Amino acid sequence: MRKKGQFYLVAGMVIISIILGIIAMVNYTKKSQTIIVNDLKEELKIETQKILEYDIGHTGETMNQYGLDYSSHLGSEIELYFITGTNPNLEANKYVNGIVTSATNDLTVDEDNDKIIFELDGVNHEFELMPTENFYYLISQEIKGESFVATG
């Protein structure tokens, strides 16, 4: 009788261990979205400097083409905004998944304080207004209803 009871006890412990192992594996392998806007900020900082240097002696369309190409690489969950130009000819473009749309309506200039103000999702992002060519970017990513924005 004692050996029979020990067998059921050991069998019960093995079954419980297997069930706990499966639960732990399911919890561990759940896919979660990661916030990558900060990584993209550093990448854009380096790449846009090189493109702007190249674009100085050329048509000026290189940055627009770069935005199209780069956004198609990012996918549809990340929005990329470029603010370019000189005052009063500043423009803002939104790049998503290789498609460009104008976002200049969200752009205002505060000449008293030498600021460019760009409104994104009800939040104002301020940049310094330079007397020469201006270039700024915003990267926006939404995860589970929460927006993450990096600027540069």
Predicted confidence (pLDDT) per residue in 55-112, tens digit: 665 555 777 777 777 777 776 778 888 888 777 788 888 888 877 887 777 777 877 7
**Phi-psi sector, 60: left (phi>0), alpha (psi -120 to 50), beta:** left
Domain locations along the chain = 1-31, 37-151
Return all residues near 75 (Cβ < 8 A) that are at least 6 apart. 97
pTM equals: 0.68
Q: What is the distance between the alpha carbons of residues 31 and 60, in angstroms, rounded to a whole number?
A: 41
pLDDT value at position 30?
59
